[in-house]
Amino acid sequence: MREGYLKILPLTLIWYMKVAMEDSILINACVKAAIIRGILVGSVNDFKQMNRLISANPEKTRPVIDKVFPFEEAKQAYAYLLSGAHVGKVVIQVAKE
């Protein structure tokens, strides 16, 4: 076993870890400079409350649409999404209105 510290940004939490270097998926991810993104989900009750809020206020709870791409520009849409420049949803329109 080898002891080490892992600093995870941007949370700047320092975790003290005892890991077997060759067996740890976390260490392998760090060595390969992998990007790890976590998600936070609420409870079932939170989900039900959110759905009630959306149903009661449909005009106030619409998603923000940043940019709409025609289907022919799907590659550009994904590139734009991956760039992180968007604020809101990126839409690929698959049919004409």
pLDDT in the model for residue 13: 39
pLDDT in the model for residue 14: 42
pLDDT in the model for residue 23: 58
pLDDT by position in tens, the chain (length 97): 444 455 554 443 344 445 444 556 777 777 777 777 777 778 899 999 999 999 998 888 888 999 999 999 999 999 999 999 999 999 999 988 7
pLDDT in the model for residue 39: 76
pLDDT in the model for residue 12: 39
pLDDT in the model for residue 16: 43
pLDDT in the model for residue 72: 96
Cα(89)–Cα(53) distance, integer angstroms: 20
> At residue 21, what are phi and psi to the nearest 5 degrees?
-55, -40
The CA-atom distances, in angstroms, between 24 and each of 12, 21, 32, 39, 71 are: 21, 6, 13, 21, 42
